[in-house]
Structure formats: C-alpha cells, structure tokens
Structure 1
Amino acid sequence: MRKKGFKSTFNLKCRGAILLAAMLSMFDASSQEAKKTVKNAPVFSEFSYRGDDQIYNENPLHADEFYTPLLQGCYPDPSITRKGNDYYLVNSSFAFFPGVPIFHSNDLVNWKQLGHVLDRPSQLKVQDAGISAGIYAPDIKYNPNNDTFYMITTQFAGGIGNMVVKTKDPAKGWSDPIKLQFEGIDPSLFFDDNGKAYVVHNDAPPKGKALYEGHRVIKIWEYDVQNDRVVPGTDKIIVDGGVDISQKPIWIEGPHIYKKNGRYYLMCAEGGTGGWHSEVIFVSDKPTGPFIPANNNPILTQRYFPVNRANKVDWAGHADLVEGPGGKYYGVFLAIRPNETNRVTTGRGTFILPVDWTGEFPVFENGLIPLKTKLKSPAGVKNLTGQNGFFPNGNFTFTDNFAEKVLDYRWIGVRGPREDFISLTKNGLKINPYKQNIKAVAPTSTLFYRQQHNTFDATVTVKYVPQSEKDLAGIVCYQRETFNYVFGLTKKGNENYLVLARTEKGKTTIIGSEKIDIRKPVQLQVVAKGDNYQFNYSTDKQQFKNVGGTVSGDILSTDVAGGFTGSLIGLYATAENDITL
C-alpha cells in the first residue's frame, strides 16, 4: 500500500547497533520514569464518543441488513482467513501500539476484537517510527496442513522489514517475529493443498528496468514451512507492472493467491491508494504462473464516478476474499467516506461486499457502481453489532469510565505500550506524563481513540493541577506529530489556563486561551460537523463554553497531512509542554 508523495523505495537495512541501542535505552528510561508515581498526574474519567453521521440517520437498518464499512475509522488494508466456522480479520496499524488489531466472527456480520497480534515490545519496534511507518498490510492465513495461523507483514521499523508470526490459536497470543530475507512490501502467504507454500509480494522491477514512476512487480517465492523462510533462488516475477503494462499501471500491490476448481487466482490492488485505486484479478494453472489477467478488470473500483456524488465512497481496493456462510464468497477491502469538503479525517476503513464467483473470475457484486451503505445479511444471520461485545458500526456511542481492570482494545498508544504511562485507579485513568510532547517522533503519554465519524462529539472529564508552564493535560485531535490540535490545561505564572493550539507542518499557533478555575474537575469536549471542529469546556457539567471559535479539520485530513492514518482523539499529558502563552 502506498499513497502519492511517499518514496517508491524503502531502506530496510538495520540501523547501526550503537544508534539503535542508544534509542532503546532512551525509550526504556522514559518508560521507567513515567511508571514512577507522579504527584500531579492528571486523572481522566467519563469518556464519551458519539457518532452522528447523516448517512446512517437517512438509512436505518431493516432486520435482515447490516452496514458497510464493518470497521469505521482507521482500519485499513484488511486481510481475512477462515478455519471452519471461525473468521479472523486483521488491519494495518503503522506506528500504533499495540499493533495489528485482530477481529473474530462466525458470520461475517458480527465481529469481536480479540486484541492485537503484535502486543509486546519484542514484536513491535516502532519507538522511533514516523506515524505512517511501522506495520504495513498484514496478511492472515490459516494453514490446514499444520493447523497453524500465520500473520505476515512488513515492519518499517527497527531494521525488521518483512516478517512473520504464528500461533495455533489467534485468541491466545502470537510468536515473536521471524525476519524474512526478501525486499519489497505487502507479503502474503499461500498454502496449497499438496502441502507446498508460497509468498507473493510487491517489489521493485529489476535494477535498471523501471519504465515509469510507480512501475512495480509482483514476485513469488517458495516458502519453507518447516524453517519459516523463503527458499533462496526460487523468486520469480509473475506480474510486471499490472494488467496491461502498455498503459503504465501504477502500484500493483497487496497480492493474494486463491485456489478454486484446480486453478490459481492472483488478486491485487492496482492504481495507488488514492482516487485511481482498484482491484484486479489474474488466473493460472500453476501458482508460479504464467498469470493471465481477466478481460473484465478491474473487478472493484470507485474511480469512474462524479467527484461530487452524494454519499461518496472512494479509494476502494486492497481486498481479500473468503468463502462465507453457505459457500457464498465475500470480499473485504479498504475505502474512505470523505466529509462534505472531501476531507479524509476518518481515514480508510474496512468495507465488505458479496462476491459472485459463479463464472471463471470473481466479481464484487455492485463493486463497479457507487457503493451503498447497507447490505443484506447472509441467510439466517441476525445483526447484533454493538451488542454483547460485538463491534458497533453506523451511528453509536462509546463510553468508558475506566472502571474495568483492563483497557478496552479500542484504546491505543503511539510508538510505545500504553501500560508504560497509564494506570487504572478507582477515580479513573491516570496518565503519568512523559518528558516529550505530542510533536515528538517517540512514544508520547497519550491514549488514543480512532475518529470513526465525520460528525461526532467526544467528551472527557479531567482532574488536574499543573505545577508549571511545562505541564499540560487535556485532549488532542491528532493526524500526526506535525499536524494536530491540542486542547489542554496548563499554567502561566500563578494562573491556570485552558489553551487551544493548532500545529500545521510542525509550526504551532495558539488559537485561543482562557483562565480557568480547576478546583473542580473540568469537562473537555471536541465537536466535529464535517470539516468544522469546535473545542469546548464545562466546569459545572451542564453548560459548555467554546474556546477559539470554529476551526478547520483540514490538518486532520489524510490528503493534507499525508500518510496513511486517520485522525485520532487522544487523552494527553506532557511534562514538556511547548505551547507558551
């Protein structure tokens, strides 16, 4: 997966051992410092997130329907596998920690999050990674030949590169990474029914053979299951450029191989992750090719429709197929639902469509017309989303008073474990502040929740007494370290202030500030209506007062800030505040 503006090649060489050791030492020292009791650490409670998108208000569900996307917000690059009646789905997580959220379903409609595949520092080395580095395009596969699940991915951090982890039970944890010796990105495993295994992935053309910007190839290797490695010397290019190289197709990637009726099908994304994104299909009599493209490619895209169409869904692609209930095929894929100004603040979510594979090639049903909001449930499946622990979608409210012994899986950190800076107390969530702020390309003491709607409000209560101008605690709306809003309590002289600051391209501007009485807990709130954001506060839990007026959500949009992530809402504390009143 790639977006315009990112370099087309990546350096996967290890950093020098001395530099890496020094950075790991700094990271560990920061973590240990945060674990110490901090007298004035802020305590957060009564968090509430409420989505109110018009698309769902106008399209209520009937009893036999469910919404797509399945997973709203930044849950891109979905991959899916099946063992019996159990379906498992994973997503890219970049520099989020823990990494690679994993979901389970028995019917493809109702999903529960099991946790994360990469939930230990030994698996995830993203402490100095940019927000859109880290974990790219994970692929999950069940191998019936040895009753083992595999997750293969590219980790652009810690000198790891392409790697695989495995488990007998996805709900009970995964192995440490096994580094794989090949370049490129987006690896995927294929286990043939004869016991043989293969890895396919995106790579650069042979040196000196690139014909144009974005020219990539799909390569295959034999995979040694006993020793978890690619077999040296078995690599072969099976797709050069894309469906038709004379048309200069860009960024053939995200490959998956499937076997049906004795033939091998290679499905890939093509066209880049933006507006020309699509899904294409090839067929061969052997897993190593030659692969012949279907004559009706693409089989999924949203690129041919008016830019200003109603209820727009865009960027559809990077798909994976699975045989669903009753033998019916389904495909999961990423797409976006931008706001009214075509901003992409929610990032790329996980969508689903039924797939017609009654002919030679699979075709996404209604995948070549503007995508709809609702789908018919598989026969006999009841929609329980948002109930009994199943992940919600549509418009919903998520509340958390941090009264449980463990955090909800939807809370994440960036570049480092949450447990290094948080503690759950009888009064709520305590965040022990790091001595680095939200602009750092390092772990920050911020607990994040994904923005999942274009229209939403999020409110939290914070009890906090800053001791100096270096202290700040509050909420952030965060696209990356150089594009964010901070709305927090701090100090100037002997007075306590609430400040709103906007950071764009790394430059911070104060939008508004106000003296505030902090003898009682303060409610902080962000309200978004499309591209318009407001930051409010209350000291009496009844009336909210705005600070800074209405501000633009532009800096929270992927198309402005760049990268691959969606906007995050963070509960934030720092001992190195640089917002000077």
Structure 2
Amino acid sequence: MKISKPILLSLFFILLSFSGAFSQKSNGPIFSKTTYQGNDQVYKDYPLAADEFYNPILQGCYPDPSITRKGGDYYLVNSSFAMFPGVPIFHSKDLVNWTQIGHVLDRKSQLKVEDSGISAGIYAPDILYNQYNDTFYMITTQFSGGMGNIVVKTKDPKQGWSDPNKLNFSGIDPALFFDEDGKAYVVHNDAPDKGKELYNGHRVIKIWEYDMAADQVIEGSDKIIVDGGVDIKQKPSWIEAPHIYKKNGKYYLMCAEGGTGGWHSEVIFVSDNPKGPYIPAPSNPILTQRYFAKDRKNKVDWAGHADLVLGPDNKYYGVFLGIRPNTKDRVNSGRETFILPVDWSGEFPVFENGLIPMEPKIKMPKGVTENKTGKDGFFPNGNFTYTEEFKSDKLDYRWIGLRGPREDFMSISKYGVEIKPFAVNIKEVKPISTLFYRQQHKDFSFSTTMDYKPASEKDLAGITCLQSEKFHYVFGVTKKGSDFYLVLERTEKGTSTIIASQKIELKGAIQLEVKAKGDDHEFSYSIDGGAMKNLGGVVSGDILSTNVAGGFTGTLLGLYATAANDAVPQ
C-alpha cells in the first residue's frame, strides 16, 4: 500500500512528539500521592472545647505577621524570605478561621530573589487598608535584586497587586500610617546617625512623611522618634517592627525590642503628634515570654513582632511571632503566627496572658460560634493530615518554590506533578527544581510516591528536609554505573556526608518517607508497595533547627529533582 507524503509527515511528527514525551518522562520524576501528617502530643493533651481554638493560628514558618481590616474582612501577611511566590496572604471573617487567598508578590517583576540566600529576600511585610482612598498597601524590605524598601498596592487583595515602587530610604521593617487629616507616614528601623552608635544592637525608629500621589517618602522629612528603645541607659537591642495606631486622639507607637530570640518582646510608646515626641509606657513590655523557666512544658518562646487590629467583638487582638522548640530546644518549624486578645481599657494596650507562660489554646472572640479550621478550604490547625494527589489544575498555595516560580520547573498531568530537573544542585544559591511544604509539627511524617528512573549519575530525585542551602538532608534515587541506588545525604555548614546508600531494583514507583519525633528523624522507602524499610537508622534533626543553622526560616519539606547531582552512593 502506498502512503502519501502528507500522511508520512503526520506520522513522523506524531512519533516525534511521543518520543519527546517519553524522553521528558525518563528525565523528570512524577510525584503522585504525597501526604503530610502532624501528630504533636500537645494537641492530644489539650482537646478543644466548643468555644476554643489553637495557638499558633498558622503553624510552621509564617513569621513576622501583619494584619489589617476592611469592614468584616481581615487580611494577614507574613515574611517569606527567598521563597517564591512571596508574602503569603490569608483572609478571615472572625480571626479564627483562615483561608490562604494567594501571595502578594507572585511575579518575577515583583520578587527578585533568584540569587539570594534562603534567609534574604522579603523581611517583615506590613499590610494596611487605607479607608480614606479605599486602597490596600503592602510595604516591606526586599534584601535582594537591588530592591530595598518597596511598596505595592491594590483595591482588592484577592485580585493581585501592583508592581513595586522602590522607596528612597534605608533600614528595615517599614510600616505605613494614614491619619484622619489626609497625611501619611512611614516608620521603620534604621541605624543611628553616623558616629552615634553607642553599643552593639543600638538601633533607632525613624518616621517620614509619605506622598500618597507619588508613593514615595518626602525628602528631608525624616526624624528619629525612638533612640535605642524604651530606656537607652539599659542598652536595649534591636528596636524594630514599628506600627503607629491612633486612639482617642493620641498616637501609639508599638515596636519589637530585644531581637528575634530569647529576649524578644513588644513595647509601646505614646505621643500627641505622629512625629513625636514618644513617651514609653511605664509598664513595658506589653508582651514577652523571656522571664520563665527554660524547661517549662509546651514552651512558647521568642514572642514579639506584633500588630494590632480591632476584632469582630469590638475588642483588640494582636498577632505576633513565637516559636515552639522541641525537647532539645531545637527550632525546626521556625517562627509561627500566634494571636492573643489585647486589653486596651486603660491608656496602654496589654496582651492578655502575654506576660505569663502561653497556653496552647484560647477562647474564640465573642460571637464566633464555629471553629472550621481544616474544613471547607480553611487552613488546618492542631494535628491534621494533608494529602495531595496533584490532580487539580491549580496547585495549592502551600506548595512553594525557592528563588523562582514553581511554573518554571513543574507541570501537572493526570499522573501527578512532573518536575523538570534543573542542572542546579540544592546547595547552590540559585532557583532549584523543588516543590516545598513547610514543616508544621514537632512530630510529623512526610511521604510521597515517585515514578522515576535516573538516566545518569548526575540525575537524582526524591525528598529533602531543608533549613538552608548549607544545612539539609537529601533522600533520593540516583544512578551509579548501570545500577540504581537510594542515597541519604546530610549537609552541614555546606559539607556533605553520605549517611547511607542502598542498591535497589527500580521496576516501578517508589515510596519515600521521612518521619520525625522531635529531634529524631528516620528516612524509609518501599519499592514494592509493601512495608517501609529504613535507610540510615535514626539521624538528628539538629541541622534543621534555626538555632543551629542560623537564619530566619523553618524547615521546608521538598519534592526535589536535579540534573547536577553530587551525592555519590558508597
């Protein structure tokens, strides 16, 4: 039978497309059913009553919270450092039940973190609704891409944000304030004037007048309104994260003091004028956990970096960061978002129960009748299981990239999510081809099913527990000669060690799992769908802790692929 030339050409292109598809599948892993399960003892010991909810409200690496309100709608944002997209944004009607509605900085034109370390990038975003022009503003410091301090805005946080406007001042932690007379101001942390630094950690709070038409500070309008902190004679460290509030005709300046660590706190000042002078409250701090026993049960520490909002019950509430270290005082889940009611019946606000050891649960605001966390799209809280089969066209907002968009390396099909490996190793300060999920519990498991056959020794795919580019575990499949191997690698201070490796028969999908109980981590696998087999024994999670690895993030659990593997099986 004679086949015409057009038909031959069509068959050729069809075969070519199939060839390309198979080639791509052989080089990129497909991850299907992936499950995160949290199982902390504290939630078993403290079951909720009908009118209670758990603290923190956002578990895992959601630090530096800022909150604002428009009518009955609340919006909350967090620092995101080099994570992409940046600045997760949440919405609530009642301060109890939260949904993530996206990210403020979700485009390369807004977020330039492609060559920044994991703890650079976005610091301390401030979100504020301006009722006088019906506009939301988000102002932050971007330590990357030559950006510095920036502001973006929108009429509707659910519909995306503008490209950033670069602001003409140095320092960090900027926040906006809109006054009734139409004037606007920016306050921020900065260094003292040149030659006037008195001690290590000496910082100041500055204020600028802000031109809303130009979205820019007014040159020459800057003024130092706090020097050092509450009492400079005591050499207070790292006065930062300022916010101005107006109540009963007076201006209140609230700041963090003591640094993000064991001496962290929140302090308050008052003035008759937005530009000061500001007088500290006699009862500072108004929030801290620094005075209590180090071995207290269910310890919450490092409390501070707060923001206030009027709640649905016409009572003030404050969101702030805190940590929940494990029994070895390790901080693997990072700084989390907590909330407490605030008593502002006197001249100065005070966080209720914020000056005693914090409890794992609190009462819901009066009038809120249902705790819906973990149901109907609301963010989960307490112990929970989250299973992702990657069957939706839209990836859940909890999955993030590092230094670049997820869409640059992943695609979703009926088989799961396929990751196209970059020729970049996880140790490099570049965008990496990894989907990340935040660790949210001390005791957890993270497992996935992976369909993958590496083509060479430079190919590896699997899971990772990552604190930074210099501190992490990699547990994945690679090739050595003509054989397939499973390898467990530990990287500390940038130096990698192979903990264990195992030659495997790779005929189909493989299940990979990391399970942690506090500091003890175990990595396991199954190649036949049967019982999981451990590789490498019990290993320490020490390198996944902020107070070991340094930096500002919590542990990220990742689905990882690379075409630049350097983990050689033994």
TM above 0.5? yes
The aligned counterpart of 1:567 is: 555
The residue aligned with 1:482 is 470
Q: What's the offset of the Cα at 1:38? A: 5.6
Q: Does 1:406 pair with 2:394?
A: yes
- TM-score, normalised relative to structure 1: 0.93
**Matched ranges for 1:148-547 at <5 A:** 148-381=135-368, 382-547=370-535
Distance across 1 between alignment mates of 2:528 and 2:305: 48
Quote the Cα distance in structure 1 between the aligned partners of 2:218 and 2:530. Answer: 65
**CA offset at residue 39 of structure 1?**
3.8
Matched residue of 2:432: which SS?
coil
The letter for the 1-side match of 2:69 is R
| Segments ≥4 residues shifted beyond 4 Å | none
What letter corresponds to residue 517 of structure 1 in structure 2?
E
Q: What is the CA-CA distance between 1:403 and the residue it aligns to?
A: 0.2
The DSSP-based 3-state class of the residue aligned with 2:96 is coil
Amino acid at match of 2:56: P
Distance 2:454 2:447 in 1: 20
Aligned to 2:32: 45
| Partner residue, 1:138 | 125
Give the drift of 1:326: 2.1
Task: Give, in angstroms, the shift of residue 580 of structure 1.
Answer: 1.4
Aligned to 1:12: none
Map of 1:104 onto structure 2: 91
Q: Whole-Å Cα distance in 1 between the matches of residues 506 and 385 of structure 2?
A: 28
Q: Are 1:80 and 2:60 matched, yes or no?
A: no
Aligned residues: 546
Q: Please point out which of 45, 51, 74 is paired with 1:64.
A: 51
Decide whether the 8 Å contact of 2:256 with 2:266 is kept in 1. yes
In 2: Cα distance, 1:282 partner to 1:400 partner: 47
State the identity %: 72
| C-alpha distance in 1 between matches for 2:44 and 2:445 | 16
Shift of 1:516: 1.2
Q: Who is 2:11 aligned against?
A: none
Distance apart, 1:542 and its partner CA: 3.0
Aligned-partner Cα distance in 1 for 2:444–2:484: 28
SS at match of 1:80: strand
SS in structure 2 of the partner of residue 47 of structure 1: strand
Report if the CA contact (8 A) 2:26-2:453 is conserved: no
Separation of aligned partners in 1, 2:313 and 2:58: 23
- 1:70-95 Cα distance to aligned partner (Å, 9 max, x none): 00000000000000000000000000
3-state SS, counterpart of residue 543 of structure 2: helix
Name the CA distance, whole Å, in 2 between partners of 1:390 and 1:99: 20
Distance of 1:414 and 1:216 partners within structure 2: 31
Name the counterpart of 2:540.
552
SS in 1 for 2:487: strand
SS of 2:313's partner is helix
Q: CA separation in 2, counterparts of 1:49 and 1:139?
A: 30
Letter in 2 for 1:279: E
Can you list the C-alpha shifts for 1:389-437, whole angstroms capped at 9, x where unaligned?
0001100111100000010000000000000000001100100000011
The secondary structure found in structure 1 opposite 2:43 is helix
Instruction: For 1:326 and 1:510, locate their aligned partners in 2 and report how far apart those are by CA, in whole Å.
Output: 56
Residue of structure 2 in register with 1:22 after alignment: none
Which AA in structure 2 matches 1:109? Answer: V
1:91 aligns with one of 43, 55, 78: 78
> Secondary structure, in 3 states, of the residue corresponding to 1:327?
coil
In the alignment, is the contact (CA less than 8 A) between 2:443 and 2:518 conserved in 1?
A: yes
The offset of 1:194, in angstroms, is 1.4
What amino acid does structure 2 have at the position aligned with 1:511? I
**C-alpha displacement at 1:321, in angstroms?**
0.2
Highest CA radius of gyration, 1 or 2?
Answer: 2
Q: Which amino acid aligns with 1:534?
A: E
Counterparts of 1:519 and 1:406 in 2: how far apart (Å)? 30
CA apart distance, 1:380: 2.4
Amino acid at match of 2:232: I
The C-alpha deviation readout for 1:308-344, integer Å capped at 9, x for no partner, is 1111000000000000012100000000000010000
**Cα pair 2:512 2:525 within 8 Å, conserved:** yes
User: Match of 1:512, as an amino acid?
Assistant: A
Counterparts of 2:181 and 2:399 in 1: how far apart (Å)?
42
Distance 1:310 1:459 in 2: 30
Structure 1 counterpart of 2:433, one-letter code: S
Partners of 2:529 and 2:351 lie apart in 1 by 49
CA distance in 2, matches of 1:290, 1:86: 34
The Cα shift of 1:571 comes to 0.1
Structure 2 distance, partners of 1:511, 1:425, is 34
Cα distance in 2 for residues equivalent to 1:365 and 1:459? 39
Contact 2:26 2:454 (C-alpha < 8 Å) held by counterparts: no
Name the Cα RMSD after superposition. Answer: 0.7
Which amino acid in 1 is paired with 2:72? N
Q: C-alpha separation between the residues in 1 aligned to 2:504 and 2:442? A: 30
Q: CA deviation at 1:348?
A: 0.3
**Cα distance in structure 2, aligned partners of 1:51 and 1:340:** 17
* Partner Cα separation in structure 2 for residue 108 and residue 336 of structure 1: 20
Deviation at 1:37, TM superposition (A): 4.2
Instruction: Using the TM superposition, give the Cα deviation of residue 201 of structure 1 relative to its aligned residue in structure 2, in angstroms.
Output: 0.1
Counterparts of 1:279 and 1:515, CA distance in 2: 54
Distance 2:474 2:404 in 1: 20
Distance 2:491 2:351 in 1: 41
List alignment gaps of at least 5 residues for structure 1: 1-35
Question: What whole-Å deviation, never above 9, does each CA across 1:164-185 have from its counterpart, x for those lacking one?
Answer: 0000000000000000000000
CA distance in 1, matches of 2:143, 2:193: 22
Report the Cα offset of residue 50 of structure 1.
0.3
Q: Give the TM-score normalised by structure 2.
A: 0.95
Report how far residue 567 of structure 1 moved: 0.3
Q: Which amino acid counterpart does residue 67 of structure 2 have in structure 1?
A: I
Shift of 1:40: 2.2
Amino acid at match of 1:452: Q
Q: For the residues of structure 1 that align with 2:494 and 2:197, how far apart are their CA atoms?
A: 35
